[in-house]
């Protein structure tokens, strides 16, 4: 898949402050922001976004780094990670700090809600952007935040493993919303070194039962044959077969969006 083959999606740009990015739009219904993983808007990310569209939602997908439509590959992954890590828009190692790029994503979500209407919007972040949906919870319009394999900050120390890529001020606001009833969905493979169990434990400590976790067994000898390096729940490591736990996770995400974004009859 190359960018010309993404012609089924409306391509335009969105600007907030000094940040302008290409965005892809498709579908109809309540709005969902799909924030891609490293290395960029890959074919697998596009497949997931199409599943969200097919479920009856309007999707807007910003291209934050990488080449839209380019397939996953290790050299490409390494180039994208290197570029994102040196950017001031992402905080790959900082503790108790919200990545500045989340401000852009919040503005994009607000614009999407204005266009689509309804009670609010949803968002899913993946990998490098996994915790972006958490940061977007500071806005009351964010009603369906999903964290898929949230990998920042990189777990290089005990403190980093528990960190949420969120400032203390933003965490306080997120907790306030959780106490008022807002839920958050998180996905990870159990053996994923980029998403240590301490991070999900911290989310449970801070948000209680408002944090809904889906943790898929990827330990040695697991019954599903997932490699111990399995990472991308909704894209690269999705096994789209009935009864597979990754397919169940995908259906959980789509139902989470439906339950929270569709007005009651």
The DSSP code for 264 is P
Tens digits of residue pLDDT in 65-76: 999 999 999 899
Residue 121 CA: distances (Å) to CA of 20, 43, 46, 47, 134 = 21, 24, 19, 20, 13
> CA 44 to CA 47: how far, in whole Å?
5
Q: Nearest Cα to 121, choosing from 23, 31, 28, 181?
A: 31
Total structural domains within the chain: 1
Average pLDDT, stretch 18-46? 97
Percent of the chain with pLDDT over 90: 89
* pTM assigned to the model: 0.96
Instruction: Output the average pLDDT for the chain.
Output: 95
pLDDT of amino acid 87: 82
Quote the pLDDT of residue 1.
42
- Identify the CATH number of the domain in which residue 26 sits: 3.40.50.1820
| C-alpha span between 171 and 241 (Å, rounded) | 37
Q: How many Cβ atoms sit within 10 Å of the Cβ of residue 102?
A: 25
Strand, coil or helix: what is 135? helix
Q: Is 230 helix (H, G, I), strand (E, B) or coil?
A: coil
CB 37 within 8 A of CB 63: no
Express each pLDDT in 135-158 by its tens digit: 999 999 999 999 999 999 999 999
Range of the domain at 174: 3-261
């Amino acid at each position: 898949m190359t960018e010309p083959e993404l012609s089924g999606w409306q391509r335009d740009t969105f600007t907030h402050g000094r940040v302008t990015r290409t965005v892809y739009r498709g579908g109809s219904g309540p709005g969902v922001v799909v924030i891609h993983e490293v290395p960029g808007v890959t074919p697998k990310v596009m497949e997931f976004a199409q599943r969200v569209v097919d479920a009856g939602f309007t999707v807007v997908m910003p291209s934050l780094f990488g080449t839209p439509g380019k397939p996953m590959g290790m050299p490409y992954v390494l180039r994208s990670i290197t570029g994102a890590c040196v950017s001031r828009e992402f905080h790959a190692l900082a503790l108790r700090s919200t990545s500045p790029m989340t401000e852009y994503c919040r503005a994009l979500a607000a614009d999407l809600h204005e266009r689509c209407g309804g009670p609010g919007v949803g968002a899913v972040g993946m990998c490098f952007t996994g915790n972006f949906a958490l940061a977007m919870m500071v806005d009351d319009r964010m009603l369906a935040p999903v964290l898929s394999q949230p990998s920042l900050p990189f777990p290089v120390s005990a403190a980093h493993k528990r960190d949420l890529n969120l400032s203390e001020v933003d965490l306080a606001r997120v907790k306030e919303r959780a106490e008022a009833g807002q839920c958050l969905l998180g996905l990870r493979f159990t053996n994923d070194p980029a998403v240590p169990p301490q991070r999900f434990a911290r989310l449970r400590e801070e948000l209680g039962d408002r944090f809904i976790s889906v943790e898929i067994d990827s330990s040695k000898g697991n019954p599903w044959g997932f490699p111990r390096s399995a990472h991308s729940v909704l894209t690269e490591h999705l096994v789209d077969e009935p009864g597979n736990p990754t397919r169940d996770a995908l259906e959980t995400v789509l139902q989470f969006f439906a339950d929270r974004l569709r007005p009651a009859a």
